[in-house]
Amino acid sequence: LRDESRKVITGLERSLIEETGIRSLKIRHNNVLGYYIEVTANHHAAMTGSDENKARFIHRQTMANAMRFTTTELAELESKIANAADRALSIELATFDRLMAEVVAEANSIRAGADALAVLDVSAALALLSESEAWCRP
């Protein structure tokens, strides 16, 4: 859900546009309000006109040219997205910790491999240098 949240929000936005008939309706997000529905001030009546809409659309903020609302469905979706992100982060951290433990357990083997590669690197570099400079062994 965390990675597909934009598609889910867009789908919800489309369904709200169809239900309300407000083409300028947008679902947006900010750090203060979270997810909210934004409509122009002209469409205020459509959002709060009927008792059903008053119960469904919860007024959050009024601005000069727009009004912001939320719904319980949108709040639940926001909570699910946040929980999915938290779960994904905890899984990533657990995987990273497990990988780190495996690397630390094999530190001596990794160090020995790095030392062997260093010897090979120096030997190969000296061989190339001796060939390019026509060095010979005394």
Query: Could you please report the per-residue DSSP string of the chain?
Result: -TTTHHHHHHHHHHHHHHHH--TT-EEEEETTTEEEEEEEGGGHHHHHSSHHHHHHSEEEEE-SSEEEEE-HHHHHHHHHHHHHHHHHHHHHHHHHHHHHHHHHHTHHHHHHHHHHHHHHHHHHHHHHHHHHTT----
Q: Distance between CA atoms of 38 and 24, rounded to whole angstroms?
A: 8
Given this model, what pLDDT does residue 42 score? 83
The pLDDT of 72-97, averaged and rounded, is 92
User: For residue 52, is it within any domain?
Assistant: yes
User: For residue 112, is it within any domain?
Assistant: no
User: For residue 114, is it within any domain?
Assistant: no
User: For residue 73, is it within any domain?
Assistant: yes
Given this model, what pLDDT does residue 13 score? 92
Q: Which of 23, 28, 16, 67 is nearest to 45 (CA)?
A: 67
User: For residue 71, is it within any domain?
Assistant: yes
The pLDDT of 8-30, averaged and rounded, is 90
List the domain range (segments joined by +) for residue 87.
1-106
User: For residue 131, is it within any domain?
Assistant: no
CATH number of the domain to which 96 belongs: 1.10.1420.10
Residue 2 pLDDT level (bands cut at 50, 70, 90): low
* Tens-digit pLDDT profile for residues 85-135: 899 999 999 999 999 999 999 999 999 999 999 999 999 999 999 999 999
Residue 4 pLDDT level (bands cut at 50, 70, 90): confident
When divided into structural domains, the chain yields a total of 1
pTM of the model: 0.65
Point out which residues pair with 66 in neighbouring strands. Answer: 40
Residue 1 pLDDT level (bands cut at 50, 70, 90): low
User: For residue 16, is it within any domain?
Assistant: yes
- Dihedral angle, C-alpha 67, 30, 23, 12, nearest 10 °: -120
* Tens-digit pLDDT profile for residues 28-63: 999 888 999 999 988 887 787 777 777 888 888 888
User: For residue 3, is it within any domain?
Assistant: yes
